[in-house]
Structure 1
Amino acid sequence: MKPTQKELTDWAITQIQEKYKDDIALLIGISGHSLENDCHGECFDYFVPANENGNKLAQTFIIDGVGHDLYPRSWKRIENMAEFNDDFTNGLADAKILYSRNEEDKKRFVEFQIKLMANLKNKDFMFKKALGKLDTAMDIYRTMMFEDSLYKVKMGAGFIARYLSIAVACINETFFKQRLDLETVELSQMEEIPDDFITYFEEIVKAKSVEELKKLCYEIISTSRKFIAEHKPSKVEELKTPIYKDLAAWYEEMSLTWRRIYNHCDTHNYQRAFPDALNLQHELNIIKEEFGLQEMDLLGSFDATNLSGLKQRVQELERYIVSEIEGHGVAINKYDTLEQFLAKNS
């Protein structure tokens, strides 16, 4: 006969009171975290130790075929949950305090719950968390593409779908409340999800070949990237006025790179042109974001067999950068001769 939730909770509390009264801050249960009537989760899930000795309360055991894990979560881990750096979000959001050492411990825990809910309503915060999960999924994808074993690819695909699901939940300013179901159950109830996301997820679960899984992972990442990009928060009200003197300084610093690329193009040296063009493209991407500039596609014009297109594009982009600087009333610090420089700077 399985023990009741109350019996297990009473046992855990008695252990704390008799053996760890000064060592355990909280005993936590999680609402709804059980499989039918197995008593797991709702009786207790974890405890918060007040010191190192409190970790000794931890136990794993099986009663009538049901496994239980009474394990510690430090205050730092609780904070990570509030900051969405721990995917066990419902472990804080849906937590119930079953025992507290004192009111101060209880208050501290509740404050983390309040912090979690405040973060949940912060669009900028949740967007950044969604990007983080997308990055994690893409990292797994990059590694998975070199795997040939079905079970490894299947595992990678499963985690890709899971992290992307969390990203979608972040955009919806929510979290997964039930860890026992496939994420598609709760995804179907969310207000907005990427196109065909649930279909791709279900097909990943059912896929039987490495090739099929890799293709589906590409599709589910692609639709997720588009979805997340479309939900980038508007920051018009927070936009800082660009300091175009900084853009001028950037141009002055990078001027040698522009000159080198021109020379590489004129001498048809693609082996030197490509590294410089690669670096310049990276820099252009950065200043685009910092100064709100237009899209600057440089490498799209690179052709190792004919560098004339690259040179033309570099000239166009340089004129554009200079016009942005001078158009905002900033003079570029340049001189035709060394004598001019020395005359002004001596």
Structure 2
Amino acid sequence: MFHVFDVSSALVSHIEQHCPDDIAIVACYGSYVQGTANPKSDLDFFFIPATSDGYRASIQFIIDGISFDFWPIGWDRAERMANYEESNTSIIADCRLLYARSDADRERFYQLQEKIKNPSGLNLLDRAETELQRAYVHLYKMRSTSGRENLAFFRIESQEVLTKVLYSLALINGTYLRKGWGKNMDQILNFEIRPARLADYIHTLVHSNSCQEMQVNGEELVQETVELLVQQKESYTNGPSYTDRMRGFYEEFKGIFNKLTEACEKKDRDTAYFWSVSLQDIIAKFLYYSERGYWPVELEPNLVYQDIYVKAGFPNLVDLFDAQNLLPLERAVQQLESKFREHIVARGVEILEFHSVEQFREFLHTRA
């Protein structure tokens, strides 16, 4: 009977002798590193290539019934994992370093591990929202197949919903899932922020034989998680700051006001439709951000972020769009532009606007 770490020694020795300049980092992760291995556990490796030739070191093999996977992760992907942009952050965070080509490579890797320890809370919440958006795709698939007893289909879709929600909950709690699926329930059920019936939802989605029950529980779990996400985002509210958050907005989107006005004048109904909806939505989101310091959770029902736009007294371009008569929309766009300028200027936003190229040249000279 061999010892699994003899395999890692063989791989590292091979790299040192045959391709020392092509591999930056070699590490192992998983149950052996976490102390939860059993006699049938595999040993998971990854390496970070330093050159394009380094990728050729990848190999998957079996020794005495135990599988081994020596697979490459580019520095860019390792960075994404450290930024919580992938669900397997633990691979970088909790691995054991076996080889480093140089002190610089070792230090670069350690910096990634340090980054994991100090994430931005709002960034994690944004990532959590992305995962929940993905969960909705699978809820839709279940709902569109509702009434058909296809147990395999519903179990596959339920698993997709569950894994995305649980990863989202980890992010909402400011952490990552430290173990693989099935082994991480203790961590998940001890999250400080979690749906009250989380254990019941998980049990139903995993053990139920009823397609309808899986669908209903999946929808309720996602909705409750969205509500927790909204609550956590609200805790980051730090008051209005238009001068920082709205700087440059009008200058950038002035072109959309012009495009929409031109579309109305030319009776270009399709263009008017798209830009009227887009302009109102963009302004509403920026107003929300300027007031609160974070972007709206788009999974919230009823587009609540639009309330700030309405309360500001801006015309409702979306309601005013009429393919048969674009004149009311054209007038509303002109009114919106005037009111919006007044709104942000009154809150300290300086609009960078020039009447001639010479005036712009003078500005550049003064700025320099």
Q: What's the TM-score once normalised by structure 1's chain length?
A: 0.71
SS in 2 for 1:71: strand
Report the equivalent of 1:35: 37
8 Å contact kept, 2:138–2:157: yes
Report the equivalent of 1:125: 123
Report the equivalent of 2:53: 53
| Aligned residue runs from structure 1 range 138-217, under 5 A | 138-147=136-145, 148=148, 149-181=150-182, 183-217=184-218
Gaps of 5+ in 2: 265-272, 292-306, 320-331, 348-368
Q: 1:82 to 1:283 in 2, by over 3 A?
A: closer
SS in 2 for 1:45: strand
Gaps of 5+ in 1: 260-273, 303-314, 331-346
Give me the CA root mean square deviation.
3.9
More deviation in 135-144 or 68-77?
A: 135-144
Letter in 1 for 2:141: T
Letter in 1 for 2:209: K
Give the percent of matched residue pairs that are identical in Structure 1 and Structure 2: 18
- Residue by residue, what CA displacement relative to the aligned partner does 1:273-302 show, whole Å, maximum 9, x if unpaired? x99997787467435525546374999xx9
Letter in 2 for 1:133: E
Q: 1:18 to 1:253 in 2, by over 3 A?
A: closer
Equivalent residues, number = 296
8 Å contact kept, 1:21–1:101: yes
**C-alpha displacement at 1:52, in angstroms?**
2.1
Pick the structure with greater CA Rg.
Answer: 1
CA distance in 2, matches of 1:22, 1:275: 54
CA distance in 2, matches of 1:280, 1:214: 36
1:294 aligns with 2:314: no
- Residue by residue, what CA displacement relative to the aligned partner does 1:64-109 show, whole Å, maximum 9, x if unpaired? 2221111111111111111111211110111111111121111111
SS in 1 for 2:242: coil
Letter in 2 for 1:195: A
8 Å contact kept, 2:134–2:164: yes
CA distance in 2, matches of 1:158, 1:182: 15
Q: 1:101 to 1:195 in 2, by over 3 A?
A: same
**C-alpha displacement at 1:325, in angstroms?**
5.0
Q: What's the TM-score once normalised by structure 2's chain length?
A: 0.67
1:21 aligns with 2:23: no
SS in 2 for 1:145: helix
| Aligned residue runs from structure 1 range 1-346, under 5 A | 1=1, 3-30=2-29, 31-32=33-34, 35-38=37-40, 40-41=42-43, 44-119=44-119, 122-147=120-145, 148=148, 149-181=150-182, 183-232=184-233, 233-236=235-238, 239-241=241-243, 246=250, 282=281, 285-286=284-285, 288-290=287-289, 292=291, 294=308, 296=310, 325=342
